[in-house]
Amino acid sequence: VSRFEDVAMAPPDPILGVSEAFRACTNESKLNLGVGAYRTEDLQPYVLNVVKKAEKLMLEKGENKEYLPIEGLAAFNKATAELLLGADNHSIQSQRVATVQGLSGTGSLRLAAAFINRYCPNSKVLISSPTWGNHKNIFNDAGVPWSEYRYYDPKTVGLDFEGMIADIKAAPSGSFILLHGCAHNPTGIDPTPEQWTKIADVLEEKGHTPFFDVAYQGFASGSLDEDAFSVRLFVERGFEVFVAQSYSKNLGLYSERIGAINVICSSSGVANRVKSQLKRLARPMYSNPPVHGARIVANVVGDPNLFSEWKAEMEEMAGRIKNVRKRLYDNLSQKDKSGKDWSFILRQIGMFSYTGLNTSQSENMTNKWHVYMTKDGRISLAGLSLAKCDYLADAIIDSYH
């Protein structure tokens, strides 16, 4: 008999579990729109050309496999903060940014959560309703209390801006407000620049700290700078800001686990101390981060040719997703005779579309149409081809009505 006999079966992960179910399905029409991973028009995984070139360079240089310092690869940390904020940003010039390489977006969020738990034990984090499913797990496991602010308005399939503002205002002063830098997951609905300004006003009024999750810089609009607008606005206004970054999507480095946590502080002294404590938290958790992805990023960003090639590839990925979005909208509008307005799909941005399908309708998508997706009605357009839009539109219309 096992001493672990009483260990209960954990529920499948609501996002990664979808891929498991997809693999087990034998129907030839099946579509995997669950996980957010970019696919080519042939629905194949994609390794960016700049990544292959950077890896070739790395091999030629014959770099070693020694441990990195706890904070990660220096060239990566410099590149990632500059990419986020702009190299000439005052916070970088005045050395007010604490950057620590993380285990992609998730690990960087987790490290920041551990920091909040240790140094701001009486603060809570506000997360959007809905949000990426793992946010709640991350803060739960780090022992950080959280609650939700309104974000999604089912009536318009748009932003509930008034609800959002009201809930952020009602939160205890000095809360951390988790914001998606761009391409909100799962809704694909972002605030407008004017709305971002109002959000900043309320955070300032309440003494809240913005905590940005930036998983899609350059991948949403196709422009690195445009997608960093929200973060830069808050930094410009003088907030101390947390930013978790990920290179899973924009460089396609999903399994390399490369990202960073940046804390923009009000002085270089604070930044130094914050960084020292982030390192202290990282050391007993995983000691130091993996080097391969960090070298890829540093090589791509550090070489003007590779950098511009990357931007072109990013635009191409973002463009393919926009094309699919448009085609899906066209098919839905043409096929649906109910008069429903599908234009909300066009107003969303990034790899996801929130269809407005509820749990049982989403189940119909999977059970009847073999379209694998999360039960919240989210579909990943990155896993869709132009050729499959027609089939998907039939499935959505059937499930809706």
167 to 206, contacts with ligand PMP by CB under 6 A?
180, 185
> For residue 325, what are the contacts with CB-CB under 8 A and spacing of at least 6?
345, 346, 348, 353, 381
With respect to ligand PMP, which residue has the nearer C-beta, 34 or 36? 36
Is residue 217 part of the contact set for ligand PMP (CB under 6 A)?
A: no
CA distances from 277 to 75, 91, 125, 242, 343 (A): 21, 20, 20, 14, 47
* DSSP class per residue in 198-221: HHHHHHHHHT-EEEEEES-TTTSS
Which of these ranges, 60-68, 103-111, 113-121, 231-239, lies near ligand PMP under the rule CB under 6 A? 103-111
**Among 32, 80, 91, 106, interactor with ligand PMP by CB under 6 A:** 106
262 is an interface residue for ligand PMP by CB under 6 A: no
Contact between 246 and 104 (Cβ < 8 Å)? yes
Which sequence positions are flagged as catalytic? 132, 213, 249
Q: Measured from the CB atom, is 215 or 298 closer to ligand PMP?
A: 215
Helix (H) or strand (E) holding 114: helix 104-119
Closest approach of ligand PMP to the CB of residue 337, in Å: 35
Question: What does the buried/exposed string (b/e) look like for 321-357 if buried means 16 or more CB atoms within 10 Å of the residue's CB?
Answer: bbebbebbbbbbeeebeeeeebebbeebbbbbbbbbb
Binding flag, residue 36, ligand PMP (CB under 6 A): yes
Instruction: Quote the tokens at residue 109.
Output: 């969020």
CB of 208 to ligand PMP, least distance (A): 20
- Residues 80, 123, 221, 248: which binds ligand PMP (CB under 6 A)? 248
Site string for ligand PMP, 317-336 (x = CB under 6 A): --------------------
Least spacing, CB of residue 23 vs ligand PMP, in Å: 19
Which residue in this structure is represented by tokens 């307005």? 341
Please identify, using beta-carbon distances, which residue of 245 and 399 lies nearer to ligand PMP.
Answer: 245
Cα 293 to Cα 248: distance, rounded to the nearest angstrom: 10
C-alpha distances out from residue 184 to 6, 118, 149, 197, 213, Å: 39, 28, 14, 17, 9
**Total residues at interface with ligand PMP (CB under 6 A):** 13
Applying CB under 6 A, which part among 102-110, 142-150, 230-238, 267-275 lies near ligand PMP?
A: 102-110
Residue 259 touching ligand PMP (CB under 6 A) = yes
**Strand-pair category, 352-354 with 378-380:** antiparallel
> How many other C-beta atoms lie within 10 A of the C-beta of residue 317?
22
The single residue among 71, 167, 213, 256 that binds ligand PMP, judged by CB under 6 A, is: 213
Name the segment binding ligand PMP (CB under 6 A); options: 68-76, 104-112, 121-129, 285-293: 104-112
Could you list the residues that contact ligand PMP (CB under 6 A)?
Answer: 36, 104-106, 132, 180, 185, 213, 215, 246, 248, 254, 259
